[in-house]
Amino acid sequence: MTTSLDLAELYRDLHAHPELAFQEHRTAGAAAQHMRTLGLDVIEGIGGTGVAAVCSNGEGPTVWLRADMDGLPVEELTGLDYASTTTGVGADGTETPVMHACGHDMHVTWLIGAMRRLVLTRESWSGTVVAVFQPAEESIAGATAMIEDSLLERVPLPNVVLGQHVAPFPAGVVSLTSGTAMAGSDDIAVVLHGRGGHGSRPEATIDPVLAAASTVVGLQSIVSREVTPGTLAVVTVGTIHAGSASNIIPAEARLGVNVRSLDAKTRDLLVGSIDRIVRAEAQAAGMTTEPEINVLVSAPATINDATATQVVRDAFAAEWGEASVIDYGAVSGSEDVGVLASAASAPLVFWFTGGSDPVLFGAAAAAGRLEQDIASNHSPYFAPVLEPTLERGVAALVVAALAFLD
Ligand code: ZN
Ligand code: ZN
């Protein structure tokens, strides 16, 4: 156990071997093995590929530290010598390149490093730390899967749930927001039912491709015309599928719509307006079958507990100085870490840890080229700089955990 652990080596290995949601077998196996090496009680296969490891160290509070494990169906273009060349089979059954384009490999490495540091210093604190390695964050299903598979009955309940995400601002900086920190997300599947036929005889058909195109444009009026300016709201049509040949008018068209909002009122407005506009477009096209509109997945907004967030902020500022702790404010990204905290009725603190080369970031900011020059999460070029990202993330988990432990 006292043999040294090369975190950079561990990170590069995880990065080169990403796995899609609920397929994180190798990653989960590595996490479990490292936890066993530390002498911890390890439970595997929670909610599919989830892993929990318990470090019981006497009386005191229980802290959960959470890391997500899944990669994304993205072809890596970073050119790194540890870049992924892996493929996986997606939910639709097709083979796809896979990449750790959201940095969950960094999260797993941080948590392994933090658990090791906490175990090695266990003489100096007391309480219980539970490492939660969660599957399938990207599909917003992994936290729920672990809860439904009795996570709460299998490990000590938390007094606080802590987690962090690597983000494209300078390494060495952490961003912590009290209250609503990340948006809620809804995935909505739309099917428009037309009437198929020959491409040369549109008069004999009801064209779902035209209706889908009109719907995509119409949906973009919701945020611009119905939401109060300044309120965070996003409607994205991320997929559109119809047809098989240019001379065939297909019978149906499918849209994948994603919605982001910070509060229930805005969320209900967005979802309600999507329903209204889709039905109106179908009617305008003369469709005789009602469209299908189904909310497939919903993630609640990520809400940080004000008191617990202040505890973490003070601990970070004491450790690294005020300048290293920023408050970026609520972001339009979404997370399911809040599901773990809500299920356990525990306060949540979830923060962002910078992963960009500070020099490159500074140059890009000075040139007004952050969007162009600094790859963000989900980009095929996303490549956190190893240091100080690794050290700062490990330290952040340890410092935050110790702020709650005795
Ligand atoms: Zn992501
Ligand atoms: Zn992520």
Higher pLDDT residue, 5 or 355? 355
Q: Are residues 151 and 188 in the same domain?
A: no
Give 377 Cα–ligand 1 centroid separation in angstroms. 6
Are 193 and 208 in contact, with CB atoms under 8 Å apart? yes
CA geometry: angle 150, 166, 27, nearest 5 deg: 50
Give the pLDDT mean for 222-236. 97
User: Phi, psi at residue 77, to the nearest 5°?
Assistant: -125, 20
CA distance 259 to 281: 19
- How confident is the model at residue 379, as a pLDDT? 97
Q: Across residues 168-172, what is the average pLDDT?
A: 96
* pLDDT number for residue 110: 98
Same domain as 316, residue 280: no
Share of the chain above pLDDT 70, in %: 99
232 with 141, same domain? Answer: no
Host domain of residue 282: 184-298
pLDDT attached to residue 297: 87
| CATH code for the domain in which residue 227 is found | 3.30.70.360
pLDDT of the residue at 3: 59
Ligand number with the minimum distance to the CA of 73: 1
pLDDT level of residue 4 (50, 70, 90 thresholds)? confident
Tens digit of each residue's pLDDT (9 = 90 or more) over 122-138 = 999 999 999 999 999 99
Q: What is the mean pLDDT of residues 211-218?
A: 98
Residues with CB under 5 A from ligand 1 (ion): 102
Rounded Cα distance between 170 and 385, Å, is 9
Average pLDDT rounded to a whole number, residues 162-173:
97
226-231 contacts: CB < 8 A, separation 24 or more?
A: 226/269, 226/273, 227/266, 227/269, 227/270, 231/262, 231/266
Find the 281 Cα to ligand 2 centroid distance in Å: 35
Q: What is the pLDDT of residues 361-390, one digit of tens each?
A: 999 999 999 999 999 999 999 999 999 999
Residue 1 lies in a domain: no
Q: Tens digit of pLDDT for each residue in 16-60?
A: 999 999 999 999 999 999 999 999 999 999 999 999 999 999 999
Q: How many CA atoms lie within 13 A of 405 on its CB side?
A: 27
In a domain, 2, yes or no: no
Distance of alpha carbon 319 from alpha carbon 405, whole angstroms: 16
Q: How far is the CA of 315 from the centre of ligand 2 (A)?
A: 24
Q: What is the pLDDT of the chain when averaged over all its residues? A: 97
Asked whether residue 88 is domain-assigned, the answer is yes
Q: How many domains does the chain have?
A: 2
Q: Please give the distance, rounded to the nearest whole angstrom, from the Cα atom of residue 306 to the centre of ligand 2.
A: 23
Cα of 68 from ligand 1 centre, angstroms: 10
Same domain, residue pair 154 and 210: no
Cα(138) to centroid of ligand 2, in Å? 6
Residues having C-beta closer than 5 Å to ion ligand 2 = 102
Do 214 and 72 share a structural domain?
no
Residues 107, 74 share a domain: yes
Q: Are residues 62 and 50 in the same domain?
A: yes
Whether 62 and 198 map to the same domain: the answer is no
Does 328 map to a domain?
yes
